[in-house]
Amino acid sequence: MSAHTLLAESGCHINHDCAFPAPGLNSFDFKPIFSIGSFDFTKPMLLAIICVVLVVGFFWAAFNKPKLVPGKLQLVGEIGYNFVARSIAREVIGKKGDKYVPFLTSIFFFVWIMNVMSIIPFAQFPANSKFAFPVALAALVFITYMYLTFKTHGFRGGVKNLVWIEGLPKFLVPLIVLLEFIQNVITRPFTLAVRLWANMFAGHLLIVLFSVASWYLLTPSFLSAVAGGSFVLAAGMTAFELLIQFLQAYIFTLLASIYISGALEEGH
């Protein structure tokens, strides 16, 4: 049970001789909805499935029977698709990026909806704050990056694309090859996953912290003013988190397009 739910149910306030239940990792742990053997199906998994259904269902409904004069749903779908196509794919990859727009659009909207779950009533949890989900998404992007690199350049050319820089002094070659390998093969997928996870984790933790504090300090005393300030901060953080949720989806998709562009281009 999360800290804020436990606090609300217990009726705990600062003048009731109960310690402040500071939110931590317990705010990211959930009891299984059901279990099959050693496999536990939890709330974040359910939210991920709901997000998949929402994204697939929306675009299927929008483009299943496209019309020359689009209806409202198709118009919204076209705006979202064109946003990714024009602002990300074509800006970064160029004309070659058109064939990857469906892939990038799927990533953008899936990551965004997963993040937005943080402020949806009854959900109130960003699924991407569980590290496994950003890791899976980063792995998908990395596999695509590697596949396109070796498909475009062959094995030898692909390795060269990943680690080789022309015109280096010979004594620097081993060091640069090692650094390029670490950057392109290890650091890229790791930072792609950590960036998304850390932002969603920190944002959710701050919202929970100010929410818990506003309830804990709500007493018939001057501390009510402090509780009010904490509540305002919680509301402000929620509004700010809306921007962060969009930006993280945009940055994740932008970096995916940069990796695809690098895979399609010649080496240094």
Domain that holds residue 177: 3-264
In the three-class reduction of DSSP (H, G, I as helix; E, B as strand; rest coil), residue 68 is classed as: coil
Is residue 199's pLDDT more than 90? yes
126-163 pLDDT, tens digit per residue, is: 999 999 999 999 999 999 999 999 999 899 888 888 88
Q: How confident is the model at residue 66 (pLDDT cuts 50, 70, 90)?
A: confident
Check residues 28 and 257 and name the one with the higher pLDDT.
257
73-88 pLDDT, tens digit per residue, is: 899 999 999 999 999 9
203-240 pLDDT, tens digit per residue, is: 888 888 888 777 777 766 666 777 788 788 888 888 88
Q: What is the pLDDT of residue 64?
A: 87
How many structural domains comprise the chain? Answer: 1
Residue with tokens 């093969």: 185
The string of DSSP codes covering 201-214 is HHHHHHHHHHHHHH
Residues facing 35 on adjacent strands: 40
Residue 250 near residue 92, CB atoms below 8 Å: no
Amino acid (one-letter) located at 163 = V
Calpha distance 263→205 (Å, rounded): 37
Look up residue 214 and give its two tokens: 């506003």
Q: Which phi and psi (to 5°) does residue 215 adopt?
A: -75, -40
| Mean pLDDT, the chain, whole residue set | 86
Distances (CA, A) of 213 to 20, 95, 200, 209, 218: 8, 52, 20, 6, 8
Residue 224 near residue 216, CB atoms below 8 Å: no
In the three-class reduction of DSSP (H, G, I as helix; E, B as strand; rest coil), residue 176 is classed as: helix
Is residue 4's pLDDT more than 60? no
Look up residue 48 and give its two tokens: 């991920």
Q: Tell the burial category of 243 from Cβ atoms under 10 Å away from its Cβ (0-12, 13-18, 19+).
A: exposed
Q: How confident is the model at residue 1 (pLDDT cuts 50, 70, 90)?
A: very low
